[in-house]
Amino acid sequence: MADNNATLNGPGSGSEATVKPKIRIVVADDHPIFRDGLCKLLALEEDFEVVAQASDGRQVLDVLQQYEPDVLLLDLKMPGLDGLGTLQRLQATKNKTRVIVLTASDDKHEFVQAMKLGTSGIVLKQTATELLIKSIRKVHAGEIWLDSHTTAAVIRQFVANDEPPAPPPPPPAASVRERERSPLSQREREIVALVAQGFKNKEMAEKMFISEQTVKNHLHNIFDKLGVSDRLELALYAIHNNLHTGR
């Protein structure tokens, strides 16, 4: 197998180009047909390398210790040690592999537990392949991945439970951005909470007795202060910093 860190000489150029290291992935699922099919799909991506498979949580722990992959795709429903139990073990060992829960479950309580246990992403098995591929690259880059439906469900559960989640793993140094360069005002915190709970601009304006343009102005200021680029990223920031309740 070729060395991912090798250098290649371009034909006739005499110059060297460094081969970008691949994202090393482990796939954990107890259904062999699904697991094998997913591995074949991932292998089609030039920047992916599936280094191992696992069919239960105990195998996952052994494989992660042996291969130290970048990303783990983890099914929640596995025999023996299930996905949540595996996440608990990984959290205790302070493993640096970033985890994407890949599940057919629609149990929002499980999503919340997975996020509290340090999961970097949740992808439903019915999700389009291209979105799964995108989620792997995003999570590898240090971001959190939830689709809008899952984000809303997770936020509702956090609000209902009134419990802050565990902080997310720190992003790579290159992607660290200064957060809250100046503190949020009370009105801005209220807007952050409403965004995190899924309210649209018009609904927030009516609820707060202000104009929709004023809401947009507040959002512009909030995005600038927090260094976020869109409402989904703001919602994720809110739940990870316990701002989703507005208190």
pLDDT value at position 59?
94
For CATH 3.40.50.2300, list the domain ranges present in the chain.
20-161
What gap in Å lies between CA 222 and CA 218, rounded to an integer? 6
Average pLDDT over residues 193-215: 89
**20-161 to CATH, choices 1.20.140.10, 1.10.10.10, 3.40.50.2300, 3.30.420.40:** 3.40.50.2300
State the CB neighbour count (10 A cutoff) for residue 227. 14
* pLDDT for residue 35 is more than 90: yes
How confident is the model over 225-244, as pLDDT tens digits? 888 777 767 877 777 677 76
36-46 pLDDT per residue, tens: 999 999 999 99
Say whether pLDDT at 162 is over 60.
Answer: no
Please check whether residue 124 is in contact with residue 104, taking contact to mean a CB–CB distance below 8 angstroms: yes
pLDDT, greater one: 17 or 114? 114
Least-confidence region, from 34-43, 67-76, 103-112, 130-139: 103-112
Q: What is the pLDDT of residue 53?
A: 97
More confident residue, 14 or 158: 158
pTM for this model (two decimals): 0.63
Q: Which one has a higher pLDDT value, 120 or 106?
A: 120
Number of CB atoms found within 10 A of residue 223's CB: 15
How does pLDDT run across 54-101, given as a tens digit for each residue? 999 999 999 999 999 999 999 999 988 999 999 999 988 878 899 999
d(Cα 113, Cα 132) in Å, to the nearest integer?
21
Report d(CA 179, CA 52) in Å as an integer: 37
User: Which residues belong to CATH 1.10.10.10 in the chain?
Assistant: 177-240
Percent of the chain with pLDDT over 70: 75
Position of tokens 């316990």?
242
CATH number assigned to the domain with residue range 177-240, chosen from the 4 options 3.30.470.10, 3.60.21.10, 1.10.10.10, 3.40.50.300 = 1.10.10.10
Residue ranges in the chain assigned as alpha helix (H): 32-43, 57-67, 83-93, 108-116, 129-140, 148-161, 186-196, 201-208, 212-226, 231-240
For residue 84, which amino acid is it?
L
Q: Sign of torsion, CA 219 222 228 234?
A: negative
| DSSP tag of 213 | H
Rounded CA separation 72/94 (Å): 14
So what's the pLDDT on residue 197? 76
pLDDT recorded at residue 195? 84
Q: 46 burial class (0-12, 13-18, 19+ CB within 10 angstroms)?
A: exposed
